[in-house]
Amino acid sequence: MWCPSVSLSVWANSWLAGAAAPDDVLDALSQWTPTHSVTAYDSVAAERTGLPWPDLDNTGAMSLLQTMRTVARAAPAQPAIALALPVPGDVRGLPPGTQFGRDAIAAGEAIIVGSAGAAIGMVPDFEYPDDYADSPAGDDDEFEPELCGLSWTVYSLDTLPVTSPIDLGEAEYALRDAVRSAADALGALRAGTSGADVADPRRLVEQVLEPTRAHRIPDHAPVRAVRVLENAAHVDAIITVSSGLIPIGLQSSSEVQLASDALRPLGGVVRSARLAAVDAILHSAWRS
Protein backbone atom coordinates (compact mmCIF):
# COMPACT_ATOMS: atom_id res chain seq x y z
CA MET A 1 0.00 0.00 0.00
CA TRP A 2 1.25 3.45 -0.82
CA CYS A 3 -1.10 5.68 1.21
CA PRO A 4 -3.30 5.37 4.33
CA SER A 5 -6.55 5.87 2.40
CA VAL A 6 -5.92 2.65 0.48
CA SER A 7 -5.21 0.66 3.64
CA LEU A 8 -8.32 1.98 5.36
CA SER A 9 -10.63 1.60 2.37
CA VAL A 10 -9.76 -2.00 1.43
CA TRP A 11 -9.59 -3.33 4.99
CA ALA A 12 -12.66 -1.48 6.31
CA ASN A 13 -14.58 -2.71 3.28
CA SER A 14 -13.42 -6.29 3.97
CA TRP A 15 -14.57 -5.95 7.56
CA LEU A 16 -17.98 -4.63 6.51
CA ALA A 17 -18.33 -7.55 4.08
CA GLY A 18 -17.50 -10.05 6.82
CA ALA A 19 -14.20 -11.02 5.20
CA ALA A 20 -11.98 -9.49 7.89
CA ALA A 21 -12.05 -8.75 11.61
CA PRO A 22 -11.82 -5.30 13.19
CA ASP A 23 -8.32 -6.21 14.39
CA ASP A 24 -7.28 -6.71 10.76
CA VAL A 25 -8.29 -3.13 10.00
CA LEU A 26 -6.49 -1.81 13.06
CA ASP A 27 -3.37 -3.82 12.19
CA ALA A 28 -3.37 -2.35 8.68
CA LEU A 29 -3.70 1.17 10.06
CA SER A 30 -0.96 0.58 12.63
CA GLN A 31 1.51 -0.03 9.80
CA TRP A 32 1.28 3.72 9.21
CA THR A 33 1.12 4.86 12.81
CA PRO A 34 -0.42 3.47 16.01
CA THR A 35 -2.32 6.71 16.63
CA HIS A 36 -5.38 7.63 14.58
CA SER A 37 -8.05 10.22 15.31
CA VAL A 38 -11.21 11.34 13.56
CA THR A 39 -13.19 14.59 13.73
CA ALA A 40 -16.21 15.98 11.91
CA TYR A 41 -15.64 18.99 9.68
CA ASP A 42 -19.25 20.14 9.85
CA SER A 43 -22.46 19.50 11.77
CA VAL A 44 -24.05 17.45 8.98
CA ALA A 45 -21.07 15.10 8.93
CA ALA A 46 -21.42 14.74 12.70
CA GLU A 47 -25.11 13.95 12.36
CA ARG A 48 -24.48 11.29 9.72
CA THR A 49 -21.69 9.61 11.65
CA GLY A 50 -22.41 10.20 15.33
CA LEU A 51 -19.13 12.06 15.81
CA PRO A 52 -19.04 14.81 18.48
CA TRP A 53 -20.24 18.27 17.48
CA PRO A 54 -19.66 21.15 18.06
CA ASP A 55 -16.96 19.89 20.42
CA LEU A 56 -14.14 18.83 18.12
CA ASP A 57 -12.84 16.06 20.36
CA ASN A 58 -10.47 13.70 18.60
CA THR A 59 -11.67 10.11 18.82
CA GLY A 60 -9.56 7.00 18.21
CA ALA A 61 -9.20 4.29 15.59
CA MET A 62 -12.28 2.33 16.69
CA SER A 63 -14.39 5.46 16.23
CA LEU A 64 -12.93 5.70 12.74
CA LEU A 65 -14.26 2.22 11.96
CA GLN A 66 -17.63 2.96 13.54
CA THR A 67 -17.89 6.15 11.50
CA MET A 68 -17.44 4.24 8.26
CA ARG A 69 -19.79 1.44 9.30
CA THR A 70 -22.58 3.85 10.25
CA VAL A 71 -22.55 5.51 6.83
CA ALA A 72 -21.72 2.48 4.67
CA ARG A 73 -24.43 0.24 6.12
CA ALA A 74 -27.10 2.79 5.24
CA ALA A 75 -26.13 2.66 1.56
CA PRO A 76 -28.44 0.66 -0.74
CA ALA A 77 -25.56 -1.01 -2.61
CA GLN A 78 -22.17 -2.39 -1.67
CA PRO A 79 -19.32 -1.67 -1.72
CA ALA A 80 -20.18 1.76 -0.39
CA ILE A 81 -16.53 2.83 -0.17
CA ALA A 82 -14.56 4.48 -2.97
CA LEU A 83 -11.00 5.73 -3.25
CA ALA A 84 -9.84 9.01 -4.80
CA LEU A 85 -6.25 9.86 -5.74
CA PRO A 86 -6.53 13.46 -6.93
CA VAL A 87 -3.77 15.74 -8.10
CA PRO A 88 -4.01 19.19 -9.70
CA GLY A 89 -5.33 18.62 -13.20
CA ASP A 90 -6.73 15.17 -12.41
CA VAL A 91 -9.56 15.36 -9.89
CA ARG A 92 -11.38 12.14 -10.76
CA GLY A 93 -13.64 10.96 -7.97
CA LEU A 94 -14.13 14.34 -6.30
CA PRO A 95 -17.31 16.45 -6.11
CA PRO A 96 -16.54 19.88 -7.59
CA GLY A 97 -16.36 23.09 -5.61
CA THR A 98 -16.14 21.61 -2.12
CA GLN A 99 -13.77 22.04 0.80
CA PHE A 100 -13.47 18.27 0.83
CA GLY A 101 -12.25 18.35 -2.75
CA ARG A 102 -9.69 21.07 -2.06
CA ASP A 103 -8.34 19.27 0.99
CA ALA A 104 -8.27 15.95 -0.88
CA ILE A 105 -6.17 17.47 -3.66
CA ALA A 106 -3.77 18.89 -1.09
CA ALA A 107 -3.46 15.45 0.54
CA GLY A 108 -3.38 13.54 -2.75
CA GLU A 109 -5.81 10.96 -1.38
CA ALA A 110 -9.31 10.61 0.05
CA ILE A 111 -12.12 8.15 0.74
CA ILE A 112 -15.80 8.55 -0.09
CA VAL A 113 -18.31 6.50 1.90
CA GLY A 114 -22.06 6.13 1.42
CA SER A 115 -24.66 6.98 -1.17
CA ALA A 116 -25.98 10.19 -2.71
CA GLY A 117 -27.58 12.49 -0.15
CA ALA A 118 -26.02 10.70 2.81
CA ALA A 119 -22.35 10.38 1.93
CA ILE A 120 -19.20 11.50 3.67
CA GLY A 121 -15.69 12.23 2.49
CA MET A 122 -12.59 11.45 4.54
CA VAL A 123 -9.15 13.03 4.22
CA PRO A 124 -6.08 12.07 6.31
CA ASP A 125 -3.58 14.55 7.68
CA PHE A 126 -0.10 13.43 8.72
CA GLU A 127 1.00 14.55 12.17
CA TYR A 128 4.63 14.92 13.20
CA PRO A 129 6.33 15.73 16.51
CA ASP A 130 6.05 19.35 17.62
CA ASP A 131 9.81 19.81 17.48
CA TYR A 132 9.93 18.86 13.78
CA ALA A 133 8.93 22.39 12.77
CA ASP A 134 11.76 23.72 14.95
CA SER A 135 14.46 21.59 13.33
CA PRO A 136 17.31 23.64 11.80
CA ALA A 137 16.90 24.65 8.18
CA GLY A 138 18.89 22.50 5.82
CA ASP A 139 18.67 19.40 8.00
CA ASP A 140 15.94 17.78 5.90
CA ASP A 141 18.30 15.17 4.48
CA GLU A 142 19.67 14.26 7.90
CA PHE A 143 16.48 14.35 9.94
CA GLU A 144 13.69 12.02 8.89
CA PRO A 145 10.71 12.85 11.09
CA GLU A 146 8.77 9.91 12.46
CA LEU A 147 5.06 9.99 11.77
CA CYS A 148 3.34 10.23 15.15
CA GLY A 149 -0.31 10.18 14.11
CA LEU A 150 -2.94 10.39 11.41
CA SER A 151 -5.87 12.74 11.84
CA TRP A 152 -8.90 11.96 9.65
CA THR A 153 -11.37 14.73 8.88
CA VAL A 154 -14.92 13.78 7.88
CA TYR A 155 -16.93 16.03 5.54
CA SER A 156 -20.58 15.79 4.57
CA LEU A 157 -21.15 15.46 0.83
CA ASP A 158 -24.39 16.67 -0.75
CA THR A 159 -23.61 15.09 -4.10
CA LEU A 160 -21.41 12.28 -5.33
CA PRO A 161 -19.06 12.65 -8.28
CA VAL A 162 -19.99 11.06 -11.58
CA THR A 163 -17.19 8.66 -12.42
CA SER A 164 -16.58 6.19 -15.22
CA PRO A 165 -15.30 2.80 -14.07
CA ILE A 166 -11.75 1.98 -15.12
CA ASP A 167 -11.41 -1.45 -16.72
CA LEU A 168 -8.73 -3.43 -14.90
CA GLY A 169 -7.58 -5.17 -18.09
CA GLU A 170 -7.16 -1.90 -19.96
CA ALA A 171 -5.38 -0.38 -16.97
CA GLU A 172 -2.97 -3.32 -16.84
CA TYR A 173 -2.27 -3.05 -20.57
CA ALA A 174 -1.49 0.67 -20.25
CA LEU A 175 0.68 -0.08 -17.24
CA ARG A 176 2.80 -2.51 -19.26
CA ASP A 177 3.66 0.26 -21.68
CA ALA A 178 4.40 2.52 -18.72
CA VAL A 179 6.79 -0.08 -17.28
CA ARG A 180 8.78 -0.08 -20.51
CA SER A 181 8.82 3.71 -20.74
CA ALA A 182 9.87 4.07 -17.11
CA ALA A 183 12.60 1.46 -17.51
CA ASP A 184 13.93 3.24 -20.61
CA ALA A 185 13.97 6.56 -18.75
CA LEU A 186 15.79 5.01 -15.80
CA GLY A 187 18.31 3.35 -18.12
CA ALA A 188 19.10 6.65 -19.81
CA LEU A 189 19.54 8.38 -16.47
CA ARG A 190 21.69 5.53 -15.18
CA ALA A 191 24.01 6.03 -18.14
CA GLY A 192 24.05 9.77 -17.54
CA THR A 193 25.06 9.40 -13.89
CA SER A 194 27.73 6.75 -14.49
CA GLY A 195 30.52 9.19 -13.70
CA ALA A 196 28.78 10.88 -10.79
CA ASP A 197 28.83 9.93 -7.14
CA VAL A 198 25.29 8.56 -7.23
CA ALA A 199 23.97 5.21 -5.99
CA ASP A 200 22.79 2.62 -8.51
CA PRO A 201 19.30 3.76 -9.59
CA ARG A 202 18.02 0.18 -9.42
CA ARG A 203 19.06 0.01 -5.79
CA LEU A 204 17.34 3.34 -5.16
CA VAL A 205 14.14 1.94 -6.68
CA GLU A 206 14.31 -1.03 -4.31
CA GLN A 207 14.77 1.34 -1.38
CA VAL A 208 11.64 3.23 -2.38
CA LEU A 209 9.68 -0.02 -2.72
CA GLU A 210 10.84 -1.61 0.53
CA PRO A 211 8.54 0.26 2.98
CA THR A 212 5.45 -0.55 0.90
CA ARG A 213 6.00 -4.30 1.21
CA ALA A 214 5.11 -4.31 4.90
CA HIS A 215 1.47 -3.52 4.07
CA ARG A 216 -0.83 -6.51 3.62
CA ILE A 217 -3.61 -6.88 1.06
CA PRO A 218 -6.83 -8.77 1.95
CA ASP A 219 -6.77 -12.46 0.99
CA HIS A 220 -9.84 -12.10 -1.21
CA ALA A 221 -8.06 -9.64 -3.54
CA PRO A 222 -8.04 -10.89 -7.16
CA VAL A 223 -4.64 -12.05 -8.37
CA ARG A 224 -4.77 -9.66 -11.30
CA ALA A 225 -5.51 -6.69 -9.05
CA VAL A 226 -2.57 -7.56 -6.80
CA ARG A 227 -0.30 -7.87 -9.84
CA VAL A 228 -1.44 -4.48 -11.12
CA LEU A 229 -0.75 -2.88 -7.74
CA GLU A 230 2.74 -4.39 -7.64
CA ASN A 231 3.56 -3.18 -11.16
CA ALA A 232 2.12 0.25 -10.41
CA ALA A 233 4.29 0.50 -7.31
CA HIS A 234 7.35 -0.38 -9.39
CA VAL A 235 6.59 2.28 -12.00
CA ASP A 236 5.88 4.84 -9.29
CA ALA A 237 9.21 4.05 -7.63
CA ILE A 238 11.02 4.49 -10.95
CA ILE A 239 9.27 7.83 -11.45
CA THR A 240 10.34 8.95 -7.96
CA VAL A 241 13.97 7.94 -8.47
CA SER A 242 14.14 9.27 -12.02
CA SER A 243 12.71 12.64 -10.99
CA GLY A 244 15.51 12.98 -8.46
CA LEU A 245 18.21 11.94 -10.92
CA ILE A 246 17.13 14.10 -13.86
CA PRO A 247 19.06 17.21 -12.70
CA ILE A 248 22.17 15.05 -12.10
CA GLY A 249 22.15 12.80 -15.15
CA LEU A 250 21.23 15.33 -17.82
CA GLN A 251 23.34 18.28 -18.86
CA SER A 252 21.09 20.73 -20.70
CA SER A 253 17.79 22.32 -19.78
CA SER A 254 16.24 20.92 -22.96
CA GLU A 255 17.24 17.38 -21.96
CA VAL A 256 15.77 17.93 -18.51
CA GLN A 257 12.53 19.20 -20.04
CA LEU A 258 12.27 16.25 -22.44
CA ALA A 259 12.89 13.74 -19.66
CA SER A 260 10.35 15.41 -17.39
CA ASP A 261 7.78 15.45 -20.19
CA ALA A 262 8.37 11.73 -20.78
CA LEU A 263 7.76 10.88 -17.12
CA ARG A 264 4.75 13.12 -16.53
CA PRO A 265 2.09 10.96 -18.29
CA LEU A 266 3.25 7.89 -16.38
CA GLY A 267 1.84 9.31 -13.14
CA GLY A 268 -1.66 9.34 -14.61
CA VAL A 269 -1.26 5.75 -15.81
CA VAL A 270 -0.19 4.68 -12.32
CA ARG A 271 -3.16 6.42 -10.68
CA SER A 272 -5.62 4.84 -13.13
CA ALA A 273 -4.13 1.39 -12.59
CA ARG A 274 -4.27 1.75 -8.82
CA LEU A 275 -7.85 3.00 -8.86
CA ALA A 276 -8.92 0.08 -11.07
CA ALA A 277 -7.11 -2.46 -8.88
CA VAL A 278 -8.49 -1.08 -5.63
CA ASP A 279 -12.01 -1.02 -7.08
CA ALA A 280 -11.63 -4.69 -8.03
CA ILE A 281 -10.47 -5.52 -4.50
CA LEU A 282 -13.39 -3.62 -2.95
CA HIS A 283 -15.92 -5.54 -5.07
CA SER A 284 -14.24 -8.90 -4.49
CA ALA A 285 -14.92 -8.68 -0.74
CA TRP A 286 -18.65 -8.89 -1.38
CA ARG A 287 -18.27 -11.92 -3.64
CA SER A 288 -16.03 -13.93 -1.31
Show me where the domains of the chain are located.
Answer: 4-157, 168-285
Amino acid at 47: E
Q: 10 Å Cβ neighbour count for 253?
A: 8
Determine the pLDDT at residue 163.
83
pTM beyond 0.75, yes or no? yes
Higher pLDDT, 56 or 150: 150
Q: Mean pLDDT across the chain, nearest whole number?
A: 85
- Encode burial over 66-97: b for 16+ CB neighbours within 10 A, e otherwise: bbbbbbbeebeeebbbbbbbbeeeebbbbbee
Helix (H, G, I), strand (E, B) or coil at 54: coil
Q: What is the pLDDT of residues 166-206, one digit of tens each?
A: 999 999 999 888 777 766 766 665 555 555 555 677 788 88
State yes or no: pLDDT of 138 exceeds 50. no
Q: What is the pLDDT of residues 82-136, one digit of tens each?
A: 999 999 999 999 998 999 999 999 999 999 999 999 999 999 999 888 765 555 5
Distances, alpha carbon 209 to alpha carbons 62, 230, 235, in Å: 29, 10, 10
Domain boundaries 168-285, corresponding CATH code = 1.20.120
SS3 content of the chain, % helix, strand, coil (to 5): 55, 10, 35
Determine the pLDDT at residue 136.
52
d(CA 147, CA 209): 18
